Structure 1
Amino acid sequence: MKLGLQLGYWQRNADDATASVLAAERLGYDSVWTAEAYGSDAFTPLAWYGARTSRIKLGTSVAQLSARPPVTTAMTAMTLDALTGGRLILGVGASGPQVVEGWYGQPFARPLARTREYVEIMRKVWRREEPVTAGGPHYPLPLPGGLGKPLKLITHPLRPDIPVYLGAEGPRNVALAAEVAQGWLPLFAFPDKIEEMYGDALAGAPAGFEIAAMVTVVISDDVRAALNGVKLMLALYIGGMGARHRNFHADIIGRMGYAEAAEHIQSLYLAGRKDEAFQAIPDELADGISLVGPPGRIRERLELWRKSPVTSLLVMGPRDEPTLRQVRDLVLG
């Protein structure tokens, strides 16, 4: 199993994680990842960290499809990949209707079809076999009825096959990742339920397909306090990161076996009763998707991840070098 450092969003001037990234590279972490929602973008922090490192892979988790046309993402990825010596892993995802429609002013219709089209166009750009054309309907190239003509990328990519991972939560999205991408980025994963939930969706995955799961890690003798930190995050995602009738995060918690709890948590959160929403999150749910507690307890729970199809753990939480070393020794030791 490989180990990655998930930094999440860059949020403020003081949030420069260069020291953490350099420590992770020294300690043998395979990758470092940044994210975007409606604040910082995912690529600029990676360029910053990539300029200061030489070996660690650089991943987006995830770059939002609606933020950029597919050729723009392809150009950005090609440039960053070349400048960092072929270290980019391009994670992309459809996001959700609240962000896509509210922030980007784009329709959210048919996310699977849009994702498939998006990835196909990016691969055409990188291969440079011919001027890029696409029949649409979501990203037609050239624009029908206009003055544009098919164009070919001016710059030769360092790699014409930059790895693409999909951020996906529903079984159909995961099946699409197994079909068109080199990896899948699950946000919430119950290691002992992955086969049950996604076995059919992953059945067509090619050899070497990567599953890079994000997992909150808190090394502490106070298990209750550690679980509470995970529950705070879950309350936000289940309750507030989506519309009442279309929240993909709540849906996945439901598929894990907590549908009634997810509905109750969301109702409380949207009613402004956030403390009650927090209290309503089952301990076993928070514990199942995280690695918290003293080292012995984490080491024991890591066995569930090792038995799962997950190939990389992208740890969220640790930033200081002693803790990063401790996590490394637990996961890779």
Structure 2
Amino acid sequence: MKVGFQAGYWGSGPPAKVEQRLHEAEALGVDSFWTAEAYGSDAFTPLAWWGARTSRIRLGTSVAQISARTPTATAMAALTLDHLSGGRVMLGLGASGPQVVEGWYGQPYPRPLERTREYVEILRSVWERREPVTYEGRHYRLPHPGGTGLGKPLRSTVHPLRPDIPVLLGAEGPKNVALAAEIADGWIPLWFSPRSDAFYRDALHEGFTRPGARRGPEDFEVAAVCPIVEHDDVEVAARRIKPMIALYAGGMGAKDANFHTEVFARMGWGEVCAEIQGLYLAGRKEAAVEAVPTAMVEDVALVGPVDKICEEIARAWRPTCVTTMILAGWPRSEARGRILEAVRG
């Protein structure tokens, strides 16, 4: 199993100590570095800025939202950064949710799987550069069929360094996970629980066995984001992650359209999620955070003393379908080496 490090979302400004931690991560042989976007900072600019300070570590978006950019714009950003980094880019993509897509980007959300499939097909057409790009889909058409009528098929002026930049899909539901296994080079789970491994393996198998599937389980990357807080006190560590879980399970989406809530419900936390969501949507955010049980945190995160974390990695995480653990957090220096070695096995 490989190790990744995630800078995550920005708050009101850039997260602290990213450059220092990234320097340490590369020196320790960490395999990959990842950035994210929601409706504040974007994923590509920080990846380029911080990635310029590195020479070996792979650079990934976890994830870039497909509604934020046209497929050709995303293809341009990825191929540009791939050139500048010497072929180290991994393009993580996600459909996001209706609140962000329609509220922030002003784009329609329905049929996200179909939109994702078309999006990825256009990306690959740009990178392969075999001919000017044309596309006739339900959601994307190149050239645009209306307007002035002067649009014409174009081919990228830049020859991609790699005509096959890895694409990973951020996905939570079984249909999205199966789509990732069918058309992508990897899958980025959010709120992955080792207890759900069999469920996800079944979804991946569904995608791998579809006609024309791009890869099989032997060469498919599963890069799971895993929050980590290393601290001698489990409760203190868990409290640092509870606000994030409360936000995702309670406030990230509408009452009847929250994909993160569905993930936790499949783990058996349905009633707890209903309580968290009710409190969060009523404006009682602190109470929603208090309603998150520590056991719920431990299902999806690594919290507590270094011995506990290393034991859980070996016992619970390493036997799963995960091939890369993206650590959303940076352990203390005295524990860092042990945790990284526990992941690598």
Instruction: Give the TM-score normalised by the residue count of structure 2.
Output: 0.92
Post-superposition Cα deviations, 1:88-146, rounded to whole Å, max 9, x if no partner, equal 00000001111111111111111000000000000000000111111121111111142
CA distance in 1 between counterparts of 2:333 and 2:166 reads 29
Query: Which amino acid counterpart does residue 122 of structure 1 have in structure 2?
Result: L
1:183-332 → structure 2 map (5 Å cutoff): 183-195=186-198, 197-203=199-205, 204-205=207-208, 206=216, 207-302=218-313, 303-318=315-330, 322=334, 324-332=336-344
1:1-333 → structure 2 map (5 Å cutoff): 1-11=1-11, 12=13, 15=16, 17-145=18-146, 146-195=149-198, 197-203=199-205, 204-205=207-208, 206=216, 207-302=218-313, 303-318=315-330, 322=334, 324-332=336-344
Alpha-carbon contact 2:249-2:276 (below 8 Å) kept: yes
SS of alignment partner, residue 149 of structure 1 = coil
Residue 323 of structure 1: how far off its partner (Å): 5.2
CA distance in 2 between counterparts of 1:6 and 1:309 reads 20
The farther-off stretch of 129-138 and 319-328 is 319-328
SS of alignment partner, residue 219 of structure 2 = coil
SS of alignment partner, residue 257 of structure 1 = helix
CA distance in 2 between counterparts of 1:59 and 1:131 reads 27
Query: Which amino acid counterpart does residue 20 of structure 2 have in structure 1?
Result: A
Residue 222 of structure 1: how far off its partner (Å): 0.5
Residue 16 of structure 1: how far off its partner (Å): 5.5
Query: Which amino acid counterpart does residue 92 of structure 1 have in structure 2?
Result: L
Alpha-carbon contact 1:295-1:330 (below 8 Å) kept: no
The farther-off stretch of 305-314 and 201-210 is 201-210
Residue 13 of structure 1: how far off its partner (Å): 5.1
CA distance in 2 between counterparts of 1:44 and 1:172 reads 31
Alpha-carbon contact 1:78-1:157 (below 8 Å) kept: yes
Residue 326 of structure 1: how far off its partner (Å): 4.3
CA distance in 2 between counterparts of 1:320 and 1:131 reads 51
CA distance in 1 between counterparts of 2:244 and 2:23 reads 27
Residue 279 of structure 1: how far off its partner (Å): 2.4
Query: Which amino acid counterpart does residue 243 of structure 1 have in structure 2?
Result: A
List gaps (5 residues or longer) in structure 1: none
CA distance in 1 between counterparts of 2:52 and 2:332 reads 20
The farther-off stretch of 18-27 and 202-211 is 202-211
Size of the aligned set, in residue pairs, is 332
Residue 231 of structure 1: how far off its partner (Å): 1.6
Alpha-carbon contact 1:88-1:162 (below 8 Å) kept: yes
CA distance in 2 between counterparts of 1:300 and 1:254 reads 26
The farther-off stretch of 41-50 and 112-121 is 41-50
Post-superposition Cα deviations, 1:46-103, rounded to whole Å, max 9, x if no partner, equal 1112211110000000000010000000000000001100000000000111111111
Rate the CA distance shift 1:67–1:223 in 2: closer, same or farther, 3 A. Answer: same
CA distance in 1 between counterparts of 2:180 and 2:244 reads 26
Alpha-carbon contact 1:220-1:292 (below 8 Å) kept: yes
Rate the CA distance shift 1:136–1:126 in 2: closer, same or farther, 3 A. Answer: same
The farther-off stretch of 81-90 and 262-271 is 262-271
Query: Which amino acid counterpart does residue 326 of structure 2 have in structure 1?
Result: L
Query: Which amino acid counterpart does residue 199 of structure 1 have in structure 2?
Result: R
Taking only the aligned residue pairs, the percentage that are identical comes to: 58
SS of alignment partner, residue 237 of structure 1 = helix
RMSD (Å) for aligned C-alpha atoms: 1.5
Residue 220 of structure 1: how far off its partner (Å): 1.1
CA distance in 2 between counterparts of 1:82 and 1:322 reads 36
Instruction: Give the TM-score normalised by the residue count of structure 1.
Output: 0.96
SS of alignment partner, residue 38 of structure 1 = coil
Aligned to 2:211: none
List gaps (5 residues or longer) in structure 2: 209-215
Post-superposition Cα deviations, 1:198-219, rounded to whole Å, max 9, x if no partner, equal 2321104313111111111111
